[in-house]
C-alpha cells in the first residue's frame, strides 16, 4: 500500500452497529483525513483517533464484548488517544449511566459524568433545534465544504432517542446545553441539561452532527487528534501490517450505500 501523506491523520469509526457510515462520509469531506471502519483490535491499533457512533448502545456493547473489543477500547482511550462518542457513544464514554436496560451494559468510562439513557424519550420524540455554538466550534470553518462562516453563533442539533448529561465532574467542560421547557424543567427539577462535553482527549455529544451538513464538530475532533499528535515526537509509525485498509466506496459489493445527510427541510 502506498504510504500516506505524513500530514494526514487516520480517524477510525467503530463499525459494529449504528450510524458509522454517516460519520465516515463526513470525515472524507475534510482535507488530509483518512477515514476507516474499525471492527478489530488490529484496525484500532492503526488509527490516530476513534469515533463511536450513535446507534443502540446495549447492542453495540454486546457486540463489542463478544468480539473482545471492550478492553482494547478502554486501553485506547486511557492511553490518551482522542475518542468522540455521539449519542450511544456518549453513554459508552460515561463513568456512570442510568436508564439502562435490565442487566446494564459495559461502559468504557473516562468521562466523569452521569448520563441518562433516552433522556428525551423514544424514537417518536426525536426532534431538532438550533443551539448556541461553543467558542471552539464558532471559530472553525471547513475549506470548500458546506459549513457556516467563522463566528457562526449556532449549530443544528438532531436528537434521536438521545441521552443527556445529568452531572459533570470538575474535569469535564460543558460545550453545549439544552434548555428544558417549563413542563420538562418542573418534571426534571432542573432548567437545562448538558448535551456536549469534553474532557482532555474525550469529546461526547448527545446529538448527531453526522446527519447534518455542518462539518464543524468533525473538524473539531480532527483538530483534537492533530493536537495530540503534535504533542508526540512524530506521527505514529505504521508498518504494512498495521496500515488501515483503503476505504470502501459507497455502494460497493453488498454493502448498502451511505445515507444522505438530513437537509434543513427533510424529515428523519
pLDDT in tens, 197-235: 999 999 999 999 999 989 999 999 999 999 999 887 444
Mean pLDDT value across the chain: 82
Report pLDDT for 55.
Answer: 83
**CATH: 3.90.580.10, 3.40.50.880, 3.40.50.620, 3.20.20.70. Which one for 9-230?**
3.40.50.880
Report pLDDT for 246.
Answer: 41
Assess whether 10 carries a catalytic annotation.
no
Report pLDDT for 144.
Answer: 55
Q: How confident is the model at residue 140 (pLDDT cuts 50, 70, 90)?
A: confident
Q: How confident is the model at residue 138 (pLDDT cuts 50, 70, 90)?
A: confident
Report pLDDT for 100.
Answer: 66
Assess whether 87 carries a catalytic annotation.
yes
Spell out the residues 6+ positions from residue 111 whose beta carbon is closer than 8 angstroms to its own.
90, 93, 94, 95, 172, 197, 199, 202, 204
Query: Among positive and negative, which fits the CA dihedral 210, 214, 215, 217?
Result: negative
Total-model pTM: 0.81
Assess whether 227 carries a catalytic annotation.
no
Q: How confident is the model at residue 15 (pLDDT cuts 50, 70, 90)?
A: very high
pLDDT tens digits, residue range 82-123?
Answer: 999 999 999 999 999 987 665 556 788 899 999 998 898 888
* Catalytic site residue from 22, 37, 177, 210: 210
* Catalytic site residue from 87, 113, 177, 218: 87
Beta strands 94-98 and 83-86 are: unpaired
The more confident residue out of 253 and 131 is: 131
- Identify the bridge partners of residue 165 per DSSP, sorted by sequence position: 115, 194
Report pLDDT for 137.
Answer: 87
Could you write out the DSSP letters of every residue in 48-60?
SEEEE--S-HHHH
Q: Residue 203, SS3? A: strand
Candidates 71, 35, 21; CA nearest to 221 is 35
* Catalytic site residue from 23, 26, 177, 208: 208
Amino acid at each position: 500500500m502506498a504510504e500516506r501523506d505524513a500530514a494526514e491523520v487516520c480517524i477510525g469509526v467503530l463499525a459494529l452497529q449504528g450510524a458509522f457510515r454517516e460519520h465516515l462520509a463526513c470525515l472524507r469531506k475534510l482535507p488530509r483525513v483518512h477515514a476507516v471502519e474499525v471492527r478489530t483490535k488490529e484496525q484500532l491499533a492503526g488509527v490516530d483517533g476513534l469515533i463511536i457512533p450513535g446507534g443502540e448502545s446495549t447492542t453495540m456493547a454486546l457486540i463489542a464484548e463478544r468480539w473482545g473489543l471492550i478492553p482494547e477500547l478502554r486501553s485506547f482511550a486511557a492511553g490518551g488517544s482522542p475518542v468522540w462518542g455521539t449519542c450511544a457513544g456518549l453513554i459508552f464514554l460515561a463513568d456512570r449511566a442510568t436508564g439502562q436496560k435490565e442487566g446494564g451494559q459495559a461502559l468504557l468510562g473516562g468521562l466523569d459524568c452521569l448520563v441518562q439513557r433516552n433522556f428525551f424519550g423514544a424514537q417518536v420524540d426525536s426532534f431538532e433545534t438550533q443551539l448556541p455554538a461553543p467558542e471552539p466550534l464558532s471559530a472553525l470553518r471547513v475549506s470548500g465544504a458546506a459549513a457556516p462562516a467563522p463566528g457562526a453563533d449556532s449549530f443544528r442539533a438532531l436528537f434521536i432517542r438521545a441521552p443527556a448529561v445529568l452531572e459533570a465532574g470538575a474535569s469535564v467542560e460543558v460545550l453545549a446545553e439544552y434548555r428544558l421547557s417549563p413542563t420538562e424543567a418542573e418534571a426534571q427539577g432542573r432548567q437545562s441539561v448538558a448535551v456536549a462535553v469534553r474532557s482532555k482527549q474525550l469529546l461526547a455529544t448527545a446529538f448527531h452532527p453526522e446527519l447534518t451538513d455542518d462539518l464543524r464538530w468533525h473538524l473539531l475532533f480532527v483538530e483534537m487528534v492533530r493536537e495530540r499528535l503534535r504533542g508526540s515526537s512524530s506521527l505514529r509509525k505504521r508498518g504494512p501490517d498495521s496500515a488501515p485498509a483503503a476505504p470502501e466506496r459507497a455502494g460497493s459489493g453488498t454493502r448498502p450505500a451511505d445515507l444522505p445527510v438530513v437537509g434543513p427541510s427533510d424529515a428523519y
